[in-house]
């Protein structure tokens, strides 16, 4: 009896080391893509004197999108994850970094991450509502929907609220094409966002 | 013959039993009469007799020395209660003894506690006029004294609170606010009119000079008066300058404090926003991870063909 239990324990321990998913050892490798600003600024503008201090909160995203996995949709009502393609960072967090870099390079604001001991003049709050590869047709499109709110911290008032929607066609029907189109969509969203902020000044 | 003899025996026994019972009753009654005790009357006017009953113990220094024999409302008003207590004959009750009600805080059962008088004083045997037994005066217990002290303390505390409330009343707050506003306005005016005040002082000094020149013929007395006026002007100038400096500093400090309080509030609000976001994000990530783990087959054997994304293929 004791010997049988010992054999069973050894078998279970060794079983944990077995990869059932890849018996042949030829499974595709996971590719990690970096999300970039597709229309990055050619040159940086120095921050002008007396520019308001803009606090930029991290971009939030829904539970399904707040992951490093790339999302696709074969129909409007369904979503799925690419199995062998991932982002190097969660899209919401990465988008906030690209947004701060873009605003910082324009020189219209003194940009800082919200929190800590910085007392700001304005607060920018953004939410990534949709960010997926629409694969209902080949090669499909990359869809990005962003909602932004600008708040005056001095007066505690909402200065503006805007939703941006961008759809960029893919060049190829795979994760690499989706990642390239996502860069372009992010660039377009940041263009629209900065223009909207300028209209509120 | 035998039957009659039995009747005689039974009747004899019955008579004997009756005689024994009668003798026992007589003996017991006589013995009760011979129990030695002394009776006292106690009047309770200030204390409640709640929990006291006939037969309740009468104690002296915690030892039971007697019982309560009865009680009734005393005639003559004041709602005093007359309690009759029987105390063992061997217990000396001195003149000056006082009695009070001692009550168990848990059960509520009461007893009469006698605080005996000075041991050198004579025994309490004198019966006052109109009374049947010697009278033990009513005393006060420690709990009563504590309650009195607490009551006095609460009254004093209430008075203090009332005075504080009066001090912090809306009228006083408004008055204080008006005073601060007036002070702020005064400092602002002083700061704004600093130049005018300097000009005024200078004008006073010039006037004093002219007065000195014009009054040279008046003599030495006029010269001394002129010197005094100049001195007053100088002192007033110095005092006004110091006041202006103090007011400006007060205004700067108040502005600085207000700005810091505002900064602290804003920073705390943003920190709370970030913390709540992090918590929410963590909850979402946990939810997503749970959803993934809900499909153990995909974890063990990898994705199916239906789960593959665009352009993805299995080997």
Q: Which residues of A touch B261 (CB under 8 A)?
A: none
pLDDT at residue B288 tops 70 = no
Please report which helix (H) or strand (E) contains residue A110, including its range. strand A110-113
Which chain A residue's Cα is nearest to B304? A83
Q: Which of A66, A67, A175 sits opposite B309 (nearest CB)?
A: A175
A175 interfacial to chain B (CB closer than 8 Å): yes
For residues B29-58, give the mean pLDDT. Answer: 81
Domains of chain A by range and CATH? 59-107+127-144+162-200 (3.40.50.10610)
How confident is the model at residue B118, as a pLDDT? 82
pLDDT per residue as tens digits for the range B44-64: 888 888 889 999 999 998 899
**B257 to chain A, closest Cα gap in Å:** 15
As a whole number, the mean pLDDT across chain A is 87
Three-state secondary-structure class, residue A71 = strand
**DSSP structure string for chain B:** -HHHHHHHHHHHHHHHHHHHHHHHHHHHHHHHHT--EEEEEEEESSS--TT--TT-EEEETTEEEEEEEEEEEPTTSTT-EEEEEEEETTS--BTT-EEEEEE-TTT--EEEEEE---TTSPBS-PPPTT-SS-EEEE---HHHHHHHHHHHHHHHHHHHHHHHHHHT-HHHHHHHHHHHHHHHHHHHHHHHTHHHHHHHHHHHHHHHHHHHHHGGGG-HHHHHHHHHHHHHHHHHHHHHHHHHHHHHHHHHHHHHHHHHHHHHHHHHHHHHHHHHHHHHHHHHHHHHHHHHHT-HHHHHH---GGG--TT----
pLDDT at residue B233 tops 70 = no
pLDDT per residue as tens digits for the range A17-37: 555 555 555 667 889 999 999
How confident is the model at residue B163, as a pLDDT? 73
Which one, of A119, A130, A122, A121, lies nearest residue A92 by Cα?
A130
How confident is the model at residue A15, as a pLDDT? 56
For residues A124-128, give the mean pLDDT. Answer: 95
Does A115 contact B310 at a Cβ distance shorter than 8 Å? no
User: Do A172 and A131 meet the contact criterion of CB atoms below 8 Å apart?
Assistant: no
Does B315 contact A26 at a Cβ distance shorter than 8 Å? yes
Which one, of B305, B314, B312, lies nearest residue A82 by Cα?
B312
**B313 to chain A, closest Cα gap in Å:** 8
How confident is the model at residue B1, as a pLDDT? 47
pLDDT per residue as tens digits for the range B165-174: 777 777 777 7
**A69 to chain B, closest Cα gap in Å:** 11
A6 interfacial to chain B (CB closer than 8 Å): no
How confident is the model at residue B19, as a pLDDT? 94
Higher pLDDT, B95 or B168: B95
Which chain B residue's Cα is nearest to A172? B311
**B279 to chain A, closest Cα gap in Å:** 12
């Amino acid at each position: 009896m004791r010997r049988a239990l010992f054999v069973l324990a050894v078998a279970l321990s060794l079983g944990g080391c077995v990869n059932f998913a890849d018996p042949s050892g030829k499974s595709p490798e996971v590719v990690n893509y970096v999300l970039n600003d597709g229309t990055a600024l050619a040159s940086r503008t120095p921050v002008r004197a007396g520019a308001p201090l803009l606090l930029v909160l991290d971009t939030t995203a829904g539970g399904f999108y707040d992951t490093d996995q790339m999302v696709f949709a074969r129909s409007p009502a369904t979503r799925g994850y690419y199995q062998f393609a991932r982002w190097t960072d969660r899209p919401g967090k990465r988008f906030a970094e690209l947004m701060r870099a873009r605003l910082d390079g324009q020189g219209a604001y003194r940009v800082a991450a919200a929190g800590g001991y910085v007392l700001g003049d304005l607060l920018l709050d953004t939410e990534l509502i949709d960010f997926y590869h629409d694969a209902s047709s080949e090669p499909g499109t990359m869809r990005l929907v962003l909602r932004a709110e600008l708040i005056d911290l001095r007066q505690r008032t909402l200065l503006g609220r805007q939703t941006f929607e961008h759809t960029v066609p893919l060049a190829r029907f795979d994760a690499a094409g989706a990642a390239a189109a996502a860069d372009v969509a992010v660039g377009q969203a940041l263009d629209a966002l900065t223009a909207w902020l300028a209209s509120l000044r | 013959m035998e039957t009659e003899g039995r009747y005689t025996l039974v009747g004899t026994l019955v008579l004997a039993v009756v005689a024994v019972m009668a003798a026992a009753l007589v003996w017991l009654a006589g013995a009760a009469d011979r129990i030695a005790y002394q009776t006292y009357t106690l009047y309770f006017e200030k204390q409640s007799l709640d929990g006291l009953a006939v037969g309740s113990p009468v104690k002296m220094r915690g030892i039971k020395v007697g019982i309560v024999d009865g009680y009734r409302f005393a005639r003559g008003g004041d709602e005093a209660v007359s309690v009759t207590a029987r105390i063992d004959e061997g217990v000396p009750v001195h003149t000056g003894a006082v009695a009070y009600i001692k009550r168990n805080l848990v059960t509520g059962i009461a007893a009469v506690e006698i605080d005996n008088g000075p041991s050198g004083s004579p025994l309490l045997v004198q019966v006052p006029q109109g009374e049947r037994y010697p009278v033990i005066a009513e005393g006060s217990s420690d709990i009563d004294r504590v309650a009195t002290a607490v009551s006095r303390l609460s009254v004093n505390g209430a008075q203090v609170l009332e005075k504080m409330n009066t001090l912090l009343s809306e009228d006083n707050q408004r008055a204080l606010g008006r005073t601060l506003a007036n002070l702020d306005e005064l400092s602002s005016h002083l700061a704004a009119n600093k130049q005018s005040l300097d000009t005024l002082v200078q004008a006073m000094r010039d006037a004093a000079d002219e007065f000195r020149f014009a009054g040279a013929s008046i003599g030495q007395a006029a010269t001394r008066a002129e010197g005094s006026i100049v001195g007053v002007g100088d002192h007033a100038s110095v005092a006004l300058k110091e006041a202006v400096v103090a007011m400006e500093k007060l205004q700067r400090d108040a502005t600085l404090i207000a700005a810091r309080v505002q900064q602290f509030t804003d920073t705390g609000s943003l920190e709370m926003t970030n913390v709540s976001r992090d918590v929410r994000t963590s909850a979402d990530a946990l939810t997503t991870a749970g959803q993934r783990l809900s499909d153990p087959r995909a974890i063990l054997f990898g994705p199916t063909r239906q789960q593959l994304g665009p352009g993805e293929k299995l080997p």
